[in-house]
Amino acid sequence: MTTYKYKARTAEGVSVSGVVEAYSEFDAVEQIKRTCPIVEKISEVKTSEKQHLDINEPLWVADKTLSVTASQFSIMLRAGIPIGRVVELIAGQSSDKLMKRILTQCSADVNAGYSLAHSLQKNGKKIPVAFIETVRAGEESGTLEVCFDRLTAYYEKAHKVKQKVRSALTYPIFLILLAVVVIGIVMVKLVPTMLELFGNMGQDLPLATRILMAVSDFFVNYWPFLLVGLMVIIIAYKLYAKTPGGEMNLAKLKLKIPVIGKIGIMNGASQFSNTLSTLLTAGLPMARVLSITSKVMDNKAIGESIEKLVVEIESGKGLGDVIKQNEYLPDMCKEMTAVGEESGSLEETMSTIGSYYDEEAMAASSKALQMLEPIMTVGLGLFIGFIVIAIYMPMFQMYGGIG
């Protein structure tokens, strides 16, 4: 609930002030009028929680937390525990601070008679819209336990896929960081010391040595400018990505990059299929399903292309017909969607397609990483080889002059 502070007058005309907790300002006024007929002023209290966000709090609720929470809801609701009490119990035992805070706030609203979906929408800004809308559909259709089962499976699957991606990226990232550290030490510490001797020889140095000396001198003397330039590029990229046009252009660009673009399209097909299956199982109408799905897509371009289908669905066309116009989803995904719709088993078909593209995206990612590792190894080897040649050539030249 929200806390409001107010100034009012009693029936006798006495001025009073205080605070009241209510779901909305209208409810707060109704409560105040029970004792003070004249409400002069009312405003929301800006709590310290709203004014000072916890810097350690994550930007969103993790998939694993959503899966565990949905499972707990399903189990407790099947046991016949009232929804208000369920929210209190899960909030009390949640180990995730963000989810605990959200459910604690929802608990007061639910016990006051408001729906769980409405409470989550108000308090759970960091909860995915697909989660909230599925809960809403479950409440409206009376199948909340089934919807929580579906959410459990959906977010558990999403968590496992992300874990596999993180695991696959661990070694390449470590290799990149190691290469950066090695190159930095070599160029800033080792090379200047060794080349200082050659610089005092008073003879013409080989081209490779002169290039290495120039690069090393740049790193030693201008590394602050290099760092500032890198920061400027990153900040400019972030600012551009936050603009509507910039976000869309970058999303389209990512889908056109070789290898990365293919992985992005497969991930998009996986997200589309899995989300569609979950929301359809919850009983939401197709237009609403597509609208929600477009908002949860990681890639803005794919999301907007799905949003464009809503108008045609609302005009009475079938999903199988309108999805063929989509330029980003793979042909097989579009064909299987049409087949699932025609056979009346769209939910099951989309679930199968989602699993297929999960595996395809993982396989494509693993293949790309397997290609990256030898490229990085060869590149680092060539760099070290160039340094060795640049250092040894003046030595051979010096020995030749002595001979």
Torsion angle of alpha carbons 139, 143, 144, 147, nearest 10°?
A: -120
Asked if pLDDT for residue 272 goes beyond 60, the answer is: yes
Q: What mean pLDDT do residues 335-344 have? A: 91
Asked if pLDDT for residue 188 goes beyond 70, the answer is: yes
Measure the N-to-C terminal CA separation of the chain; round to a whole number of Å. 90
State pLDDT tens for residues 38-70: 888 888 876 544 444 455 567 788 999 999 999
pLDDT on residue 176: 81
Percent of the chain with pLDDT over 90: 22
- Residue 161's alpha-carbon distances to 71, 358, 363, 372, 398, in angstroms, are 19, 7, 11, 21, 59
Per-residue confidence band for 203, with pLDDT thresholds at 50, 70 and 90: low
Helical H runs in 243-299? Answer: 244-256, 260-281, 286-296
Asked if pLDDT for residue 227 goes beyond 90, the answer is: no
Helical H runs in 186-206? Answer: 191-199
Q: What mean pLDDT do residues 280-297 have? A: 87
Q: What mean pLDDT do residues 100-116 have? A: 86
Q: What mean pLDDT do residues 125-147 have? A: 86
Tell me: domain 2-51, CATH 1.10.10, correct? no
| DSSP three-state, residue 370 | helix
Per-residue confidence band for 210, with pLDDT thresholds at 50, 70 and 90: confident
Domain with CATH 3.10.20 in the chain: 2-51
Distance in angstroms (rounded) separating the CA atoms of residues 235 and 154: 35
Q: What mean pLDDT do residues 217-243 have? A: 88
Distance in angstroms (rounded) separating the CA atoms of residues 52 and 73: 30
Asked if pLDDT for residue 127 goes beyond 80, the answer is: yes
State pLDDT tens for residues 241-265: 888 889 899 999 999 988 888 988 9
According to CATH, what is the number of the domain 63-157? 1.20.81.30
Token reading at 70: 């949905």
Token reading at 59: 């930007």
pLDDT on residue 50: 45
Are residues 265 and 328 in contact, defined by beta-carbon separation less than 8 angstroms?
A: yes
Domain with CATH 1.20.81.30 in the chain: 63-157
On average, the pLDDT of the chain sits at 84
pTM of the model: 0.69
